[in-house]
């Protein structure tokens, strides 16, 4: 049953990621990203990391995606228009993507061939105490720098939106 759930939600995550990359409207892309985040939360539950799954849902699928949608709406981005300038990218993009995926598969296969397989539900770390201790001792500076970068991005989006309205 675990394997069926894993394959189902992994497929949903990949489909939502492809949909996110292929969408022309930014709000639709952001909503597809929510699908990826929810699928990842289910995969975390399958691994036995319930706290990480809950944090994934609350923080990323909730707060961060609301922030993304707010910034997209603030910028008033419409649908993208196709241009004829990217002819080279149009013809070379797919073959280069296939080469990149083949190389990535080769690297991952060689790097993971000696590893033990994952046992679903065997993960016992990642509880609130461990995550909080690491977050507020060892990773406090990166955590605060990330929050400042998000604040700067919001201020930049607001400035760009005001500049277009003037």
CATH number of residue 22's parent domain: 1.20.120.1200
User: What pLDDT, on a 0 to 100 scale, did the predictor assign at position 81?
Assistant: 66
Map residue 23 onto helix, strand or coil.
coil
- Is residue 94 a part of any domain in this protein? no
Q: How many residues does the chain have?
A: 166
- In terms of residue numbers, what domain contains 133? 2-78+122-165
Whole-structure pTM value: 0.57
- Is residue 88 a part of any domain in this protein? no
- At 14, the pLDDT band (50, 70, 90 cuts) reads very high
Residue among 17, 29, 126 at smallest CA distance from 77: 29
Domains in the chain, number: 1
Over residues 58-71, the mean pLDDT reads: 80
- Is residue 49 a part of any domain in this protein? yes
- Is residue 19 a part of any domain in this protein? yes
User: Which uninterrupted H or E stretch holds 37?
Assistant: helix 26-46
- Is residue 155 a part of any domain in this protein? yes
- Is residue 85 a part of any domain in this protein? no
What percent of the chain is predicted at pLDDT more than 90?
Answer: 18
- Is residue 101 a part of any domain in this protein? no
User: What pLDDT, on a 0 to 100 scale, did the predictor assign at position 165?
Assistant: 61
- 71-99 tens-digit pLDDT: 777 776 555 566 666 667 777 878 888 99
Of 122 and 8, more confident: 8
- Is residue 39 a part of any domain in this protein? yes
SS (H, E, C) 102-139: HHHHHHHHHHHCCCCCCCCCCCCCCCHHHHHHHHHHHC
Instruction: Quote the CA–CA distance of 6 and 121 in Å, as a whole number.
Output: 12
């Amino acid at each position: 049953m675990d394997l069926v759930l894993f394959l189902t939600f992994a497929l949903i995550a990949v489909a939502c990621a492809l949909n996110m990359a292929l969408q022309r409207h930014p709000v639709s892309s952001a909503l597809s990203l929510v699908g990826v985040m929810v699928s990842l939360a289910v995969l975390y539950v399958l691994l036995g990391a319930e706290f990480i799954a809950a944090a994934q849902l609350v923080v990323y699928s909730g707060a961060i995606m609301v922030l993304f949608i707010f910034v997209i709406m603030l910028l008033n981005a419409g649908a993208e228009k196709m241009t004829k300038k990217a002819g080279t990218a149009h013809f070379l993009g797919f073959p280069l993507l296939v080469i990149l995926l083949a190389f990535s598969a080769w690297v991952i296969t060689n790097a993971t061939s000696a590893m033990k397989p994952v046992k679903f539900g065997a993960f016992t770390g990642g509880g609130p105490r461990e995550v909080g201790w690491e977050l507020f001792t060892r990773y406090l500076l990166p955590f605060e720098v990330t929050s400042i970068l998000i604040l700067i991005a919001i201020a930049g989006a607001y400035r760009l939106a005001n500049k277009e309205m003037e």
